[in-house]
Structure 1
Amino acid sequence: MSEPVTGERPAHRDPDVLRWLGAYASSAIGDNIYYVALSWAAVQAGTPSQAGLVMAVSAVPRALLMLGGGVVADRFGPRRVLIAGNGARCAAVVAVAVLLLVSSPGLWLLGLLALVFGAVDAMLMPALGALPTRIAPRGQLARVQGMRGMASRLAHVVGAPLGGLCVALGGAAAAFGAAALLFAAALLFATALPLLMAVRMGRGPQEWSAGQEAPGRPPASRELRDGLRHIRRNPVLARLMAVIALSDLGFVGPLNVGLILLADERGWGAAGMGWVLAGFGAGAGAMSLLLTVRGRVPRAGLVLSVSIGVGAVAIGALAYVPTLAAAVGTALAVGLLAGLSGTLCGALVQTESDPAYVGRVTSVSGLFSLGLAPLTFPVTGAAIARWGTGPVFAASAGVCVLGGLIGLSSRALRHAELPG
């Protein structure tokens, strides 16, 4: 690993990083509007259970194709994938919006759209994760991850209400049209990124050969095996993948399905659940802002492992706090700790990965976070129906604690540092 460049430009002042951030933010806001439009159109076209199936179907291609998306990002370059993916998204939602305006195609069209989006997501997500390593110095990657966290929080705050407004004014077709405009904006931002990113960073061409087409390339299956071997041989990455898998599997279910059922059980209602989610969002956003300003956290591996463990305790406590105000405060703490651990995970994945493999490494972490973890939603709901919120939240917290303990037990991860 090379040493960070002295006097490097801060990420928040780097025009290329800001273009990448613009592409990410536009795409994320468009995602939120798209999900509002899809759910509304599905409810109008079928029963609530059918609508739920349409909403869940996109997780399947994400889970199946995510690792292949990492190979694609490394083989063709994340910039190309970002351009192609947002172009495909834009075309798909425009086509559906037009069909909804002129006819009533039914659930089959919405299910097909969800499948297409899931497949495109599997290509896009590794590319979005891999691109910062090609446009920002290594010493700025923690700050870039903080900026990404802020954009993600902004997308959740702005996207869903904007999607609801579009539905109220013009129905699902209008909301799909608004999502298409944002995907088009992401496409423009991605197109504005420099073609010769490797030259800009001053890295040798052999490090970026995975992003170029060359004669005699190995088959994609071998490139995938090479990426998995790269993770296995790096002691930090190997343990980090286990930490990410366990923390996501223990975190995602309670904070999505579990929180809805907890609010219903306690009589907090939708408004109360909204306040709890707002507390979590405020904590995660505040931590992202802090890391954007600070740019680096000393002893990142140790801080990451400890924050996961402490955050797990806060997750378990959510099901036992006596009042809504206490739940909001606990969710704020969960957001702060999750924002810290999530940012450090992303930065360590990028700094520890060889540049030629970063797309494949990102795809493995994304497989757990965005492919497999959402598939636990039905399991979480069934478990709460059988045993109640308290035991399920406690068990989920235990899974997260195990991830933190694995991090602490690894000397390599415990001593991992971010460049700065």
Structure 2
Amino acid sequence: MNEIETPLFKNKTYVLLLIAGIFAVVGFSMFLTTTTWYVITELGSAGSLGLVLVAATVPRLIMMTFGGVVADRYKKTTIMFGTNLAQSLLLLILFLLVDTDNMNLWILLILAGLFGALDAFFGPASTSMIPKIVKRHQLQKANAYFQGVDQVAFIAGPVLAGIIMESFEISTSYFIATILVFLSAFVIFPPFIKEAPAEDLGKTTPLQNFKEGFSYIRKSNFLLVGIIVLITLNFFSFGTLHVAIPLIVDNFNGTPINLSIMESALGIGTLSSTILLSFVKIKRKGLVSTLGLFATLIVTLIFSQVSSLLLLTIVVFFIGFSMSFVFIPFFTAAQERTDSRIMGRVMSIIFLAMNGFDPIAYGLVSGLASIGVNIQTIIMTFSLIGIVIAITVYLKAKHYVRN
């Protein structure tokens, strides 16, 4: 960037990153919606859905330990391009197998695992690139816009997938997702973007680099507590909803359109709050993050008590609205406090900790549902436990809530 400050939407690299994000997230959310509906309707069990979600997350978590190291060692645009290109090929394989009726649970588990493993490299690269291409005081606004664009895409993906599956075939939804993820790779093609070379990390091993990032976080009380907040959000609310929403829609005799609308409501809620956060400067980011967690869990508890698809969709909107107040303040604070040379590793560890309990949530929720425990009872129990943790953080982690 030049010495004279460049407005965010005149920053070519930032704009291309946003556009690539739109295509990638629409494609990914279509993959997620299409896969969950395919498993529920074609493979026919809550247990199968849990297995697929676990398969998509466990390899992602394993590879994420290296994703941040790779993001610090190599150009981030190269990593994102390669990831999107490989994911588009996997989606093409999914399309061909489903279209020819050659898909089965084991193949789907393998492909979902590969898809998730690749995503472990995209997340740390894209997140750690933002502080590299914008000014420090632009970080909150840049993150808010970036998350807002992601939510627009996340809204569009389920709606598009639902319409396509309702009007055509499930395989057609996979085909459109393939095209969109390929377009993301095209937009982020490295020659289109001027990115400074990655810093030289010397001859240290990936394990040594990862340990350095872990040690950096361990010495920061703020980062440690923030990670606990993100774990609580993902495990007790967001991760649970990944399994719960398609099961609830199916229990209430809903259709793919109902599933799309409910998942879109989550995205619209998140988008609304990210737009708000792009205009409102947050000073006490730890406090806002903690209060956002508490609000999200309260609304999730309300979700567990509702028995109408329409009302559930409205409640889901407010869950999404609350979630932005958890992760945007924390991500911004983490980027502000972290040295640029170690940014990729720190962000990858944050992503790893944040998502590390997702497979447990998926397996636990789907396992309980498969043995007959009411899905809304599961949500109620999880949200109550999460509320206790949120209150504990507020009362005990004074250093975090004061910053």
Q: Fold-level match, TM-score > 0.5?
A: yes
Match of 2:385 among 390, 398, 415: 398
Structure 2 Cα separation of the partners of residues 390 and 40 of structure 1: 22
Structure 1 Cα separation of the partners of residues 131 and 117 of structure 2: 24
Indicate the residue corresponding to 2:323 in structure 1.
338
**Per the alignment, do residues 268 and 339 of structure 1 end up closer, same or farther by CA in structure 2, a change over 3 Å counting?**
farther
Structure 1 Cα separation of the partners of residues 259 and 94 of structure 2: 32
**Per the alignment, do residues 354 and 60 of structure 1 end up closer, same or farther by CA in structure 2, a change over 3 Å counting?**
same
SS of 1:58's equivalent in the other structure is helix
Gaps of 5+ in 1: 199-207
Structure 1 Cα separation of the partners of residues 193 and 218 of structure 2: 32
- Whether the 8 Å CA contact 2:335–2:343 is kept in 1: the answer is yes
Structure 2 Cα separation of the partners of residues 40 and 273 of structure 1: 8
Aligned ranges for residues 52-201 of structure 1 at < 5 Å? 52=49, 53-54=51-52, 56-95=54-93, 97=95, 104=102, 108-166=106-164, 171=169, 174-191=172-189, 194-197=193-196
Structure 2 Cα separation of the partners of residues 16 and 314 of structure 1: 37
**Per the alignment, do residues 112 and 394 of structure 1 end up closer, same or farther by CA in structure 2, a change over 3 Å counting?**
closer
Match of 1:347 among 332, 335, 342: 332
- Structure 1 letter corresponding to 2:225: R
Instruction: State the 1:181 CA deviation.
Output: 2.2
Instruction: State the 1:243 CA deviation.
Output: 1.6
Structure 2 Cα separation of the partners of residues 47 and 316 of structure 1: 27
- Whether the 8 Å CA contact 2:54–2:363 is kept in 1: the answer is no
- Structure 1 letter corresponding to 2:386: V
Instruction: State the 1:51 CA deviation.
Output: 5.7
Match of 1:377 among 362, 386, 399: 362
Structure 2 Cα separation of the partners of residues 14 and 327 of structure 1: 40
Instruction: State the 1:196 CA deviation.
Output: 3.6
Structure 1 Cα separation of the partners of residues 319 and 357 of structure 2: 22
Instruction: State the 1:407 CA deviation.
Output: 5.3
Indicate the residue corresponding to 1:245 in structure 2.
231
**Per the alignment, do residues 322 and 37 of structure 1 end up closer, same or farther by CA in structure 2, a change over 3 Å counting?**
closer
- Structure 2 letter corresponding to 1:62: R
**Per the alignment, do residues 400 and 64 of structure 1 end up closer, same or farther by CA in structure 2, a change over 3 Å counting?**
farther
Instruction: State the 1:159 CA deviation.
Output: 1.5
Structure 2 Cα separation of the partners of residues 276 and 338 of structure 1: 16
**Per the alignment, do residues 405 and 329 of structure 1 end up closer, same or farther by CA in structure 2, a change over 3 Å counting?**
farther
Indicate the residue corresponding to 2:275 in structure 1.
289
- Whether the 8 Å CA contact 2:298–2:383 is kept in 1: the answer is no
SS of 1:402's equivalent in the other structure is helix
**Taking structure 2 as the reference length, what is the TM-score of the superposition?**
0.83
- Structure 2 letter corresponding to 1:350: Q
- Whether the 8 Å CA contact 1:38–1:55 is kept in 2: the answer is no
Match of 1:14 among 11, 23, 28: 11
Instruction: State the 1:35 CA deviation.
Output: 3.5
- Whether the 8 Å CA contact 2:17–2:188 is kept in 1: the answer is yes
- In the comparison of the two structures, how many residue pairs are matched? 397
- Whether the 8 Å CA contact 2:13–2:194 is kept in 1: the answer is no
- Whether the 8 Å CA contact 1:30–1:159 is kept in 2: the answer is yes
**Per the alignment, do residues 228 and 51 of structure 1 end up closer, same or farther by CA in structure 2, a change over 3 Å counting?**
same
Structure 2 Cα separation of the partners of residues 377 and 224 of structure 1: 27
Structure 1 Cα separation of the partners of residues 145 and 378 of structure 2: 35
Structure with greater Cα Rg: 1
1:147-202 per-residue CA deviation (whole Å, 9 max, x = no partner) reads: 2222232223222333355557775554443223222221222225633447xxxx
Instruction: State the 1:408 CA deviation.
Output: 5.6
1:96-145 per-residue CA deviation (whole Å, 9 max, x = no partner) reads: 54566788465554433222212111111211221111111121221122
CA root-mean-square deviation: 3.5
- Whether the 8 Å CA contact 1:249–1:373 is kept in 2: the answer is yes
Indicate the residue corresponding to 1:24 in structure 2.
21
Structure 1 Cα separation of the partners of residues 95 and 270 of structure 2: 34
**Per the alignment, do residues 262 and 289 of structure 1 end up closer, same or farther by CA in structure 2, a change over 3 Å counting?**
same
Indicate the residue corresponding to 2:241 in structure 1.
255
**Per the alignment, do residues 414 and 260 of structure 1 end up closer, same or farther by CA in structure 2, a change over 3 Å counting?**
same
Indicate the residue corresponding to 1:389 in structure 2.
376
Instruction: State the 1:285 CA deviation.
Output: 1.4
1:219-260 per-residue CA deviation (whole Å, 9 max, x = no partner) reads: 110111000001011222122112211222111244233455
Indicate the residue corresponding to 1:409 in structure 2.
396
Structure 2 Cα separation of the partners of residues 358 and 233 of structure 1: 15
Gaps of 5+ in 2: none
- Whether the 8 Å CA contact 1:261–1:389 is kept in 2: the answer is no
Give identity over the alignment, percent.
20
Indicate the residue corresponding to 1:205 in structure 2.
none
Instruction: State the 1:57 CA deviation.
Output: 1.7
Structure 2 Cα separation of the partners of residues 412 and 6 of structure 1: 35
Deviates most, 11-20 or 119-128: 11-20
Indicate the residue corresponding to 1:201 in structure 2.
none
**Per the alignment, do residues 326 and 367 of structure 1 end up closer, same or farther by CA in structure 2, a change over 3 Å counting?**
same
SS of 1:22's equivalent in the other structure is helix
**Taking structure 1 as the reference length, what is the TM-score of the superposition?**
0.80
Structure 2 Cα separation of the partners of residues 41 and 337 of structure 1: 29
Aligned ranges for residues 41-60 of structure 1 at < 5 Å? 48=45, 52=49, 53-54=51-52, 56-60=54-58
- Whether the 8 Å CA contact 2:226–2:286 is kept in 1: the answer is no
Match of 2:345 among 357, 360, 364: 360
Deviates most, 31-40 or 374-383: 31-40
